[in-house]
């Protein structure tokens, strides 16, 4: 009698162990999943299938006797979900309210709920879901944030030609020193000091002129450290000194100093490498303030109205 009971117990343990072993072996296989959807809102079925497929990949199948099954049944304002499979030791059920979700969120809510239920039932599905989650949690390569470069200062010294076109215009040569600052990525500000002199021969002798002025310009720029272009608006204000050198002893000479200046625009090019560069600048303006020199009672030289200048020099980035 005792022997029979012992044999029965051994058989029971073997049966249980064999069942678990069989289920474990089955669980290790990539068992497919079939989804059936009944009575759900129009358009929900293809969306649910697509979303489930995104989560479990090629485990989603159209049919198969050994496949696990997810059943989605909608009835009025409720939806019942059931996950089961042949040989599985349990099945998973869940009921949701359709009114608990916005209409456009129903397919996603049902698909995610179904995938969670399948993951509790199927090790294969669980592995797929964990792989998707792990992939989403891998931090993407964040862009490297470089600190903004400090505003650049640029200084240059140039030789200039300054001219007042016209019959009585004066042509002058001199020099200019300038310092500029970049205000952000596109704006810039510049200040300069220039001095130039020139002369012109007339019937009674010679007229000399000296111009000293300060310029201020605000503009926009483009380019980088080595190649840089700036277009700016501003103005120039200074002193114009005109003096006459008589050509004969019976002719008297005189001199006059007047304010001169007016609005102007400029175009500046900077080309170089590293801190040093070649600088070219063109400028044009209208002298609303000016002076003129007389010879024999008529205008012999004029420093007023339209002017142009060209400057060529060397610059350094500070």
| pLDDT level of residue 251 (50, 70, 90 thresholds) | low
Q: DSSP state, 4?
A: H
Q: How many angstroms separate the first and last alpha carbons of the chain?
A: 106
- pLDDT at residue 137 tops 70: no
Distance CA 183, CA 221 (A): 10
- Is the CB of residue 110 less than 8 Å from the CB of residue 47? no
- pLDDT at residue 148 tops 60: no
Distance CA 173, CA 158 (A): 11
- Is the CB of residue 107 less than 8 Å from the CB of residue 98? no
- β-pair partners for 261: 237, 289
CATH class of 31-134: alpha beta
- The predicted-structure confidence for 180-237, as pLDDT tens digits, reads as follows 998 888 999 999 999 999 988 877 778 889 999 999 999 999 988 789 899 999 999 9
For the chain, give every residue range classified as CATH 3.30.160.
31-134
pLDDT at 239: 95
- DSSP-H helix ranges across 75-200: 106-121, 123-137
Residues 6+ apart with CB under 8 A from 47: 107, 108, 111
Q: Name the residue among 167, 23, 146 with its Cα closest to residue 85.
A: 23
Global model pTM greater than 0.85: no
Looking at every residue in the chain, the average pLDDT score rounds to 82
pLDDT at 10: 31
- The predicted-structure confidence for 1-56, as pLDDT tens digits, reads as follows 433 443 333 333 333 334 444 444 444 467 888 888 898 887 888 888 888 888 88
Residues 6+ apart with CB under 8 A from 188: 180, 181, 182, 218, 219, 220, 221, 230, 232
pLDDT at 192: 97
For the chain, give every residue range classified as CATH 2.40.160.20.
153-317
Q: Name the residue among 124, 103, 101 with its Cα closest to residue 31.
A: 124
- The predicted-structure confidence for 112-132, as pLDDT tens digits, reads as follows 888 898 888 888 888 888 887
List the CATH code of the domain at 153-317: 2.40.160.20
Residues 6+ apart with CB under 8 A from 235: 215, 216, 261, 262, 263, 264, 285
């Amino acid at each position: 009698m005792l022997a029979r009971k012992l044999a029965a117990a051994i058989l029971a343990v073997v049966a249980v162990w064999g069942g678990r072993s069989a289920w474990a072996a089955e669980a290790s296989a990539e068992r497919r999943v079939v989804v059936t959807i009944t009575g759900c809102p129009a358009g929900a079925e293809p969306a649910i299938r697509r979303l489930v497929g995104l989560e479990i990949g090629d485990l989603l199948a159209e049919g198969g006797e050994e496949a696990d099954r997810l059943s989605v049944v909608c009835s009025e304002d409720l939806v019942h979900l059931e996950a089961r499979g042949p040989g599985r030791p349990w099945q998973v059920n869940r009921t949701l309210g359709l009114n608990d979700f916005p209409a456009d969120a129903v397919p996603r809510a049902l698909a995610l709920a179904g995938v969670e239920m399948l993951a509790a039932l199927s090790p294969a599905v669980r592995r797929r879901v964990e792989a998707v989650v792990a992939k989403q949690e891998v931090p993407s390569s964040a862009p490297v944030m470089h600190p903004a470069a400090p505003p650049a200062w640029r200084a240059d010294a140039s030789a200039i030609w300054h001219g007042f076109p016209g019959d009585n215009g004066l042509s002058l040569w001199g020099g200019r020193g300038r310092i500029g600052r970049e205000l952000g990525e596109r704006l810039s500000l510049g200040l300069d000091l220039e001095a130039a002199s020139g002369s012109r021969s007339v019937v009674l002798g010679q007229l000399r002129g000296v111009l000293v002025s300060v310029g201020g310009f605000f503009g926009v720029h483009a380019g980088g450290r080595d190649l840089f272009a700036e277009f700016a608006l501003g103005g120039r204000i200074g002193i114009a000194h005109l003096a006459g050198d008589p050509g004969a002893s019976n002719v008297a000479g005189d001199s006059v100093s007047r304010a001169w200046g007016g609005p102007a625009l400029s175009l500046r090019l900077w080309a170089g490498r590293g801190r040093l560069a070649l600088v070219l600048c063109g400028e044009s303006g209208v002298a609303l303030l000016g002076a003129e020199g007389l010879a024999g009672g008529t205008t012999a030289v004029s420093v007023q109205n339209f002017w142009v200048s060209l400057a060529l020099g060397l610059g350094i980035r500070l």
